[in-house]
Structure 1
Amino acid sequence: MADQVEGTVQNVLEQESLKWVFVGGKGGVGKTTCSSILSILLASVRSSVLIISTDPAHNLSDAFQQRFTKTPTLVNGFSNLYAMEVDPAVEHEDMGSSDGMDSLVSELAGAIPGIDEAMSFAEMLKLVQTMDYSVIVFDTAPTDHTLRLLQLPSVLEKGLAKMMSLKNKFGGLFNQMTRMFGMGDDFGEDAILGKLEGMKDVIEQVNKQFKDPDMTTSVCVCIPEFLSLYETERLVQELTKFEIDTHNIIINQVIFDDEDVESKLLKARMKMQQKYLDQFYMLYDDFNITKLPLLPEEVTGVEALKAFSRHFTTPYQPLASRDQVERLEQRVSGLQHQLKEAEEELERVKRGKHRA
């Protein structure tokens, strides 16, 4: 434990060029709490921050104890922190206009696996980009969902290729059908392909930013257990494959030896956790690893989030360590006092000897 260098998220706060911050990891490890605190810390150094939850099981409202919707809402107690909750699976239906064009595109999208979600994400990114926030934090769903978000540009590309092949295969049949049903040229294949191309342009533009380490980073949240270690390794490997920068890991729910632990269960858990903590430090020796203590209560509400945020910028010191530091400081102070007395005694002896 002694040779494990304690890290913080200070590097993320100091990187002024950052535009996108993804917070990912296995389900149930505290991603929402960590992304909420990260957004609070960023709000203290940036002009405007938006936190977006893309997890269908939204927890942002619970974390801040405030109701959020698909529209960015100012977080209570802040002047520059906004939050929104979107469901990428259905969001474009709500965001688009209610005319037949969007309805028809939606129907067509449903026939191509994955393109529905890709279109939703493109719509959301288009909306977010027009709002001009200094930095945007994504509180993502579990790992697989995060990886799907990163694959969306290629999904859109494949979807467009499929639409083009259908166009070539069926010729003007589609246009004839739309005219037959009185839909007019606005609903022709070219109009639909144009709409999809527009979404593809947006998502490709953002995807370039995602692959720029100056603009985007991903923070992996985990707990010191086997499944979480495995999931973190999978996430890091996939992020590397997609060229997404990642150099921060937050290990949550760590049991520190705060005092003499009598519980056999706690001792066993601490021993088990230490084994995985050692593995994290060995695997990610070039990462900033932040350890957060397991708390007896949930961290909900702005005040609780702010109070807990100090452990993100200053490594947590267990009570036992703090006591040890105090004891050593007292001992040093005592020795310094003894040394001073000894030096004074020596001076007196020297003066007496000199007179003699």
Structure 2
Amino acid sequence: MNVYDPNEIDLTPYLFFTGKGGVGKTTTACATAAHLADQGHAVLLVSTDPASNLQDVFQTSLSNKPVAIEGIPNLSVANFDPVTAAAEYKESVIAPYRGILPDSALENMEEQLSGSCTVEIAAFNEFAHVLTDKTIKSSYDYILFDTAPTGHTLRMLELPSAWSQYLDENTTGASCLGQLSGLGDKKDMYAHAVETLSKKDLTTLILVSRPQASSLIEADRASQELSQLGIMNQLLILNGLLEGADDALSSAIISQQERDVKQMPQQLQSITQYAIPLRPYSITGIDRLRAFLTDKPVEAIQMNQSVTPSATLQDMVDDLIQSNKNIIFTMGKGGVGKTTVAIQIAQSLVQAGKQVHLATTDPANHIHLYLNDTDKLTISHIDEEKELADYTEDVLSKARKTMNKDDLAYIEEDLRSPCTQEIALFRAFADIVDRADEEIVVIDTAPTGHTLLLLESTQSYAKELERSAGEVPISIQKLLPRLQNPDETEVVMVTLPETTPVYESMRLDEDLTRAGIAHSWWLINQSMYAADSTHPVLRARAENEVQWINRVADLSDGRFATAEFTPEFDTALTK
């Protein structure tokens, strides 16, 4: 596999970097932009990633207007904040209805527009402007985007009903309808932007992944979704390949990386691949940025920070036992290890003599590989695909009775959104939580605060309109108050000691707080600092974790635990 070198690739004018959180999208995009600018090209780098750390990378204050980077002639950078843009957009949609619609309807509208789908639309609004502005196009040789739009967003933009002015007269089911209401004047701009994305001579999609199974699965999903929309010009960059084992941990990591890359999904195997070695430093400052795509050594920066002492996973379990929690969720973004943490919590509870039920969306035959035989632990597997298919058909069967073909197509696309999947699984979770009267229930992956509030507001709105179709099932109505009871429920926030996972966890934390869901414990998973490796690169990576461990210590008010890095956790649970 060739090492990634922009000089050796025939790059198009527009470059989109995409991948799951924490894989190095921002770092790779910034290093590519700096390299092209150093070659004498006029370059614009645009980020719409809510967790972007561009200001730290360039050590420059940024805004939504291009800022010239001192020290890198020819490079300008803009850092759009899609969360702020989404909030402004949400208010612009809701404001005309204030004083006209009842409060319950306004609450429902507000929650409809509070999810990740609206943030994606706000981000794409910025993408579209840059892609279609003739002045911008004529001013730069290359325009790079940190974080590409998802296939779901692009498909929605192509549907006629997505542009209707009604917000949520829909009562066929709780969903994410309404994100595009009021944007009819931008339809032509969006259409032009989508067309530009599909032209091979203009746009390249650069999939960034760690050499780990879960990251490769996410890259494969994005590749397939965007291929179906005609975005065929794709590259794959494997970021963080470890070289030169010198202890047991580094040997295990290299073995895991080689195995996962060899077993990567078929779609990715057909794409041209490049590699970037694991660097022993975080990317802050222009010197490190320029060195990232080279073998140039970089002088270590002494952090001079002491790490905040943390609890262990067992300490956290002991606290859950002492506080008599009987509903325990593990929650976090994909790839942080929610499933393994749920298993470890369940095992520790059983060892303490508790009767435990473990529920997960992971295939049950894989879960059994990690469990000792015991009559005190029962397992149920929530079949994610089946639950989603059943819920989708339930919603569509009602919609077919009243909707035309275009409106039905919009409903079908809306049902592909992330919150729909959460709602489908939530129905299954509700049945499992009923077991908590008799045993402790540990559930892998909790619904987000947005999903809970969406269900709650939809229920109120449905009652106001006296329509039965939009009612929330009884099991879920019972569950909401139960999850808001801190004496009974705990959501364990699982994260990694890295920039993006911590920022994403902060947003999840805000969602849960907004919904009144009980949560106090955080778990920093896969910590290299806790693993105590002798490998020089891994030791340096461990030192870089200190700032994020301390950040979680502040966010959690000291109620956090740390679990050391284990190279096998990612591979085994994603086979």
Give the TM bin, normalised by the shorter chain: 0.5 to 0.7
Moved more, 25-34 or 118-127: 118-127
User: Are residue 158 (structure 1) and residue 161 (structure 2) matched?
Assistant: yes
Moved more, 72-81 or 266-275: 72-81
Alignment-derived partner of residue 18 in structure 2: 24
CA shift in 2, pair 1:93/1:226, >3 Å: closer
Cα offset for 1:245? 2.6
CA shift in 2, pair 1:76/1:271, >3 Å: same
User: Are residue 240 (structure 1) and residue 227 (structure 2) matched?
Assistant: yes
Q: 2:146 aligns with which of 139, 146, 161?
A: 139
Distance in 1 between residues matched to 2:46 and 2:276, nearest whole Å: 23
Alignment-derived partner of residue 124 in structure 2: 121
Structure whose CA Rg is larger: 1
Any residues of structure 2 matched to 1:1-356 within 5 Å, and which? 5-6=1-2, 8-10=4-6, 13-15=9-11, 18-45=12-39, 47-91=41-85, 104=96, 114=117, 118=121, 121-122=124-125, 125-126=128-129, 129=133, 130-132=135-137, 133-140=140-147, 146-151=150-155, 153-154=157-158, 157-163=160-166, 196-257=183-244, 261-280=245-264, 284-310=268-294
For the residue of structure 2 that corresponds to 1:14, the secondary structure is coil
Distance in 1 between residues matched to 2:118 and 2:291, nearest whole Å: 42
Query: Runs of 5+ in structure 1 lacking a partner?
Result: 167-192, 312-356
For the residue of structure 1 that corresponds to 2:189, the secondary structure is helix
Distance in 2 between residues matched to 1:105 and 1:22, nearest whole Å: 37
- Equivalent pair of 2:156/2:162 in contact (CA under 8 Å): no
RCO comparison, higher one (Cα < 8 Å, 6+)? 1
For the residue of structure 2 that corresponds to 1:310, the secondary structure is coil
Distance in 2 between residues matched to 1:51 and 1:80, nearest whole Å: 11
Q: Kindly provide the amino acid, as one letter, of the partner of residue 157 in structure 2.
A: P
Give the structure-2-normalised TM-score.
Answer: 0.41
**CA deviation vs aligned residue, 1:249-274 (integer Å, no higher than 9, x gap):** 111111112xxx44111111111111
Alignment-derived partner of residue 375 in structure 2: none
Q: Kindly provide the amino acid, as one letter, of the partner of residue 141 in structure 2.
A: S
Distance in 2 between residues matched to 1:306 and 1:77, nearest whole Å: 11
Cα offset for 1:13? 4.9
Query: Runs of 5+ in structure 2 lacking a partner?
Result: 99-105, 170-180, 296-575
CA shift in 2, pair 1:82/1:48, >3 Å: same
- Equivalent pair of 2:220/2:268 in contact (CA under 8 Å): no
- Equivalent pair of 2:3/2:276 in contact (CA under 8 Å): no
Alignment-derived partner of residue 314 in structure 1: none
Q: Kindly provide the amino acid, as one letter, of the partner of residue 160 in structure 1.
A: W
- Equivalent pair of 2:4/2:276 in contact (CA under 8 Å): no
Moved more, 44-53 or 121-130: 121-130
Cα offset for 1:19? 3.0
Distance in 2 between residues matched to 1:148 and 1:136, nearest whole Å: 23
Distance in 2 between residues matched to 1:12 and 1:253, nearest whole Å: 20
CA shift in 2, pair 1:13/1:226, >3 Å: closer
For the residue of structure 2 that corresponds to 1:90, the secondary structure is helix
CA shift in 2, pair 1:151/1:69, >3 Å: farther
CA shift in 2, pair 1:94/1:81, >3 Å: farther
For the residue of structure 1 that corresponds to 2:60, the secondary structure is coil
CA shift in 2, pair 1:29/1:93, >3 Å: closer
Cα offset for 1:281? 9.2
Q: Kindly provide the amino acid, as one letter, of the partner of residue 214 in structure 2.
A: L
Q: Kindly provide the amino acid, as one letter, of the partner of residue 56 in structure 1.
A: P
- Equivalent pair of 1:22/1:138 in contact (CA under 8 Å): yes
Alignment-derived partner of residue 342 in structure 1: none
Moved more, 34-43 or 286-295: 286-295
Distance in 2 between residues matched to 1:273 and 1:101, nearest whole Å: 47
For the residue of structure 2 that corresponds to 1:220, the secondary structure is strand
Q: Kindly provide the amino acid, as one letter, of the partner of residue 150 in structure 1.
A: L
For the residue of structure 1 that corresponds to 2:219, the secondary structure is helix
Q: Kindly provide the amino acid, as one letter, of the partner of residue 131 in structure 1.
A: I
RMSD: 3.8
Q: Kindly provide the amino acid, as one letter, of the partner of residue 65 in structure 1.
A: Q
Distance in 2 between residues matched to 1:116 and 1:304, nearest whole Å: 31
Cα offset for 1:301? 1.2
For the residue of structure 2 that corresponds to 1:299, the secondary structure is coil
Cα offset for 1:305? 1.1
Structure whose residues are more often helix by fraction: 1
Q: Kindly provide the amino acid, as one letter, of the partner of residue 83 in structure 1.
A: V
Q: How many residues are matched?
A: 271
- Equivalent pair of 2:213/2:264 in contact (CA under 8 Å): no
CA shift in 2, pair 1:104/1:94, >3 Å: same
Distance in 1 between residues matched to 2:191 and 2:40, nearest whole Å: 26
Alignment-derived partner of residue 344 in structure 1: none
- Equivalent pair of 2:4/2:293 in contact (CA under 8 Å): no
Cα offset for 1:229? 1.6
Distance in 2 between residues matched to 1:269 and 1:205, nearest whole Å: 45
Identical-pair percentage: 27
For the residue of structure 2 that corresponds to 1:292, the secondary structure is strand
Cα offset for 1:297? 1.7
Q: Kindly provide the amino acid, as one letter, of the partner of residue 63 in structure 1.
A: V
CA shift in 2, pair 1:86/1:105, >3 Å: farther
Q: Kindly provide the amino acid, as one letter, of the partner of residue 154 in structure 2.
A: L
